[in-house]
A and B are shown apart, each in its own frame.
Chain A
Amino acid sequence: MMNRSVLGVALAGLLSWSSAAMAQDSAVDMRQFEGTTLDILYFDISFIPGLKKLFPEFEEKTGIKINIETLSEQAARQKAQLELSTRSTAFDIVGVQSGNLPLYAQNGWVTPVESFFDNASISDPEKRNIEDFIPSTLQGMASGGTQYCLPFFAATVIYYYQIDKFKEAGITAPPQTFEELLSVSAKVNSDALPAIALRGSPASTAGNIWIFNLFFYGEGAKYFADFPNELTPQVNSPEAIKALETFIALKNEYGPEGGVNFVFDDVVTAMQQGNVVSVIDGAPLAGRILDPEQSKVSGNLGFAVVPGGPAGPKPSFASHGLCVSAYSDTPEAAYLFLEWALSAETMVKVSQNSAYLATTRTSVWSNPLFKEKYNFDFGGGEFLTAYRDSLNVAPADYYPPFAAWGIVSDRMGQAVQEAEIGSKSAEQALNDANADIAQILRDEGLLSE
């Protein structure tokens, strides 16, 4: 795994785009596609609900009608893949998560957004302002050096904890290492109030692997011998076994009952309702956890970068973006929408009209309105600082960018669950997973027989 930090990734190619773009005429006729209808497919990840509220504004400005279909994350991904693999023209714009982008690129399902950048009639260099995107989020939407999509969501995780419970247990600072996390969890844990909730399901990228990998990488383990050159799997290394043992100790000894089935919603609800002392989950979910109408922990929540192991803290990382379908009848109109939707101006508006805070633009991070609304601080660390620091240390390729990652992560997710429910020891579960992943890679033509 390449160990690049999120904000530290430099994209030299972007500089050439932006400088070339600045020289272009920025006059774009917003009504050139009047009467067109655009169909969008994704799920209601924060940003989308707020963006929907602004559709009338875009429709009035351009005369373009916007239809959006939002499903659950899994269903939206499956539907997009089905539509695109059958070359359907049903959707002009589809959302994608960075882990799936290589698959979309490999199959030519989306038109690279960079192919629109030189078209001055639809692309305004100031509005798209590529340099303003957090580089790692942009990199997540690129494959093989080509920019396929543009990001709107920077996902990472932080450690949330109830300040008063920590004080009662005599804990003065959030844990910084996995050992400290285990000892802190042991101190605050009780039958009535479990110490920590972590995702356990589904057994895949969107579920337990999203959290487990931070223990895995934190211990210094890696999936492959030398990604992307040498893909011999190494998921049963001593570091990997230790990571899994720590993960299941937290879940089974200090977590709520039935935690193996906890999807992200269960974790967020447990924290929001104060049913656990701490969680490790998405920083972008802070808005929901602290929702004044539902939260029982508002005013009592601390925020910190997740603990780490010998390799340091390795918070989860992914970006979500919007892409123009390769089979859209109106790709230029679709791009026009994309540029408007992902502009800094629109992102600020969405951050104000909804709970969207996972912005991918650095200018929005420093926007006074944004800071005022989201810089929660109840005496246990500033939220935006924890979020930013996590993005700084999160590995950009937290999910190795290749098309078969979904299959590998699913198998790994199964191994994590097997160890968690005790049907196999951590070592046995990972040995079996290693053998199966090698076979998967051979089947995919990525590993020699």
Chain B
Amino acid sequence: MADALTAQSGVPAIRGRVWGGPTAGYRRFLAPALVIVTGLTILPILFTVALSLTSLSYTSTRPTRFVGLGNYAQLFQDERFVASLWQSAILIFGPVIVQMILGFLLALVMNERLPGLGWLRVIFIVPMFFPPIVMGLMWKVLFTPQLGGINYYLGLVGIESPAWLADPTLALAAIVIAAVWGWTPFVAVMFYTAMQTFPGELYEAARIDGASWTQRVRYVTLPLLKNTALVVLIFRIMEALAIFPIIFVMTSGGPAGGTETVNYYAFVAGFNFLKVGYASAIILSFLVLLVAILAPATNILLRSLALEGERR
């Protein structure tokens, strides 16, 4: 009965099965998870919301008081916050877009039956084993004019060596490059794994119909990959915040704040300036913004999954 309900109506059926009907008794099995989620996620968020409505600052000589939405109002006059929003957009979406494209291309290569590819597959995923802090250190050295190899090789082909991390624009580019190097393999492995499950008959039929390699990719692989791509995209955007240690090591948000993301600014405001109320407002605003961006993508994904369920 339950299986039939699921098959007929997809996601809404799951909701009905949990919260009502003959299986309502199973709800108690949710209790441990609910307790953990409430304790570890919901309560801290509520506490942060409460803090963001206060003037709590360990450097201030004034007593802590309730300021309502005062901290949020201050955000929009804070040039550093506004700049950090733009820099976040570049440092989160820049690498993710490049990772999606490169990851897809890498997966296509990995999916081919070419000699020696087994080893290449292993080499492709090596960056995944680097902790972000080590990755940041490695790229910092590579981009340092006196130490790294990047400028040496650029010099060999006649390109003048810039001081990458001393210029805000180049420093942003350097961080994007480091992040692309670090997380493209994850995207490639996810795409490659999905491609392994695609039915061979579809490709065979396309081939018989005279489809070229490009057409097979365009009309068979890409449509089949849509849901995986959405999942990977959502994961990558959420995880793109993990760029923090790379920024910390490579530029410390500099030069002149040119690579400071919103969460890095919240870190500075909270841990360096000890302005706890204001830092809470910064990070919550960012959370709201991220949810606003991720919600449509998640909606599309759920709708797509529900449609597939109905089709089955």
Contacts and interface: CB of A to CB of B under 8 A. Distances in A.
Contact of A423 (B144, B256, B268): B256
Contacts, number: 100
Nearest to A261: B165
B59 A444 contact: yes
B254 A202 contact: yes
A157 B57 CA distance: 32
Given A78-B271, A85-B274, A407-B59, A257 B256 contact: no
B251 interface: yes
B251 A404 contact: no
A78 B272 contact: yes
B196 interface: no
B62 interface: yes
B163 interface: yes
Contacts of A260: 163, 165-166, 254-255
Contact of A258 (B165, B252, B257): B165
Contacts of A406: 59, 272-274
Contact of A414 (B58, B146, B166, B256): B256
Contacts of A446: 61
Interface in A198-213: 200-204
Contacts of A200: 255
Contacts of A443: 60
Contact of A407 (B62, B255, B256, B273): B273
A106 B60 CA distance: 9
B145 interface: yes
Interface in A412-449: 414, 417-418, 420-421, 423, 443-446
A85 B255 contact: no
B-side binding surface: helix, strand, loop or mixed?
loop
Contact of B61 (A78, A81, A270, A445): A445
Interface string B271-284: 11111000000000
A406 B252 CA distance: 16
A258 B254 contact: no
A259 B166 contact: yes
Contact of B251 (A261, A270, A414, A418): A261
A403 interface: yes
A81 B267 CA distance: 13
A229 interface: no
A81 B254 contact: no
A392 interface: no
B127 interface: no
Contact of B60 (A204, A257, A420, A445): A445
A420 B255 contact: yes
A251 to B, nearest CB: 10
Interface residues of A, number: 35
Contacts of B273: 406-407, 410
B183 interface: no
Nearest to B271: A78
Interface in B126-148: 144-146
A103 interface: yes
Interface string B4-48: 000000000000000000000000000000000000000000000
- Chain A contact residues, majority secondary structure: helix
A223 B145 CA distance: 34
Interface size class of B (residues with CB under 8 A): 20 to 34
B257 A414 contact: yes
B59 A81 contact: no
A202 B256 CA distance: 9
Contact of A421 (B59, B164, B256, B274): B256
Nearest to A424: B256
Contact of A257 (B163, B254, B272, B274): B163
Nearest to A252: B166
A256 B165 CA distance: 13
A275 interface: yes
A203 B145 contact: no
A258 B166 contact: yes
Interface in A234-262: 256-261
Contacts of A275: 146
Task: Count chain B CB atoms within 10 A of each CB in A107, A406, A444 and give the residue with the most.
Answer: A444
A204 B146 CA distance: 24
A57 B256 CA distance: 47
A429 to B, nearest CB: 9
Most buried by B among A103, A257, A410, A418: A257
Contact of B256 (A85, A203, A204, A404): A203
Given A418-B256, A421-B168, A444 B61 contact: yes
A201 B252 contact: yes
Contacts of B256: 203, 414, 417-418, 420-421, 423
Nearest to A270: B146
Contact of B254 (A78, A82, A417): A417
Contacts of B258: 421
A443 B275 CA distance: 11
A257 B164 CA distance: 10
Interface string A100-113: 00010011000000
Nearest to A258: B163
Given A201-B252, A202-B254, A258-B146, A421 B165 contact: no
Interface string B157-169: 0000101111110
Contact of B255 (A103, A404, A421): A421
A407 B167 CA distance: 24
Contact of B145 (A82, A258, A410): A258
B58 A81 contact: yes
A201 B165 CA distance: 11
Contacts of A203: 252, 254-257
Contacts of B166: 257-261, 421
Contacts of A407: 59, 272-273, 275
Contacts of A201: 251-252, 254-255
Contacts of B271: 78, 81-82
Interface of B: 57-62, 144-146, 161, 163-168, 251-252, 254-258, 268, 271-275
12 contacts: A203-B256, A256-B146, A257-B145, A270-B146, A275-B146, A404-B60, A410-B268, A417-B257, A420-B255, A421-B255, A421-B258, A446-B61
Given A103-B274, A404-B60, A406-B273, 17 more contacts: A107-B58, A203-B257, A259-B166, A260-B254, A261-B254, A407-B272, A407-B275, A410-B268, A417-B256, A421-B166, A421-B255, A421-B258, A444-B57, A444-B60, A444-B62, A445-B60, A446-B61
- 9 closest A-B pairs by beta carbon, nearest first, are A258-B163, A417-B256, A445-B62, A257-B145, A403-B59, A78-B271, A418-B256, A404-B59, A260-B166
